């Protein structure tokens, strides 16, 4: 589950807001269908998801920088998120 979470967040980080809106158009439409200002609400959802991707990306980057020695020395458990990210397992499709 954590690997999928990371994969999704990095996908959001890499995508533009327009790409997020296009990819999740059906979900956004359902989420805002009963709101009075649907377009504005949909844009806020897209912005929120973009921020989520950016935050997760930056946290992972910071953690990788802080633990680079342990990563290089093999000092992390293989099942840790950082070890999985370092081994690019978050890029594999589940």
CA-atom Rg of the chain in angstroms: 16
pLDDT number for residue 90: 64
pLDDT number for residue 37: 96
pTM of full prediction above 0.85? no
Query: Three-state DSSP class for 19?
Result: helix
- Higher pLDDT residue, 6 or 19? 19
Percent of the residues in the chain that have a pLDDT greater than 70, as a whole number: 93
What is the number of helices (H) and of strands (E) in the chain?
6, 0
Q: Confidence class of residue 21 from pLDDT cuts 50, 70 and 90?
A: very high
Number of structural domains (the chain) is 1
Domain that holds residue 47: 2-91
């Amino acid at each position: 589950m954590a690997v999928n979470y990371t994969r999704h967040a990095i996908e959001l980080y890499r995508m533009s807001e327009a790409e997020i809106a296009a990819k999740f158009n059906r979900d956004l439409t359902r989420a805002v269908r009963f709101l009075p200002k649907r377009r504005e609400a949909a844009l806020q959802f897209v912005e929120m998801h973009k921020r989520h991707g950016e935050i997760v990306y930056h946290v992972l980057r910071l953690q990788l920088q802080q633990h680079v020695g342990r990563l290089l020395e093999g000092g992390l458990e293989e099942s840790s998120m950082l070890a999985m990210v370092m081994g690019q397992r978050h890029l594999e499709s589940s």
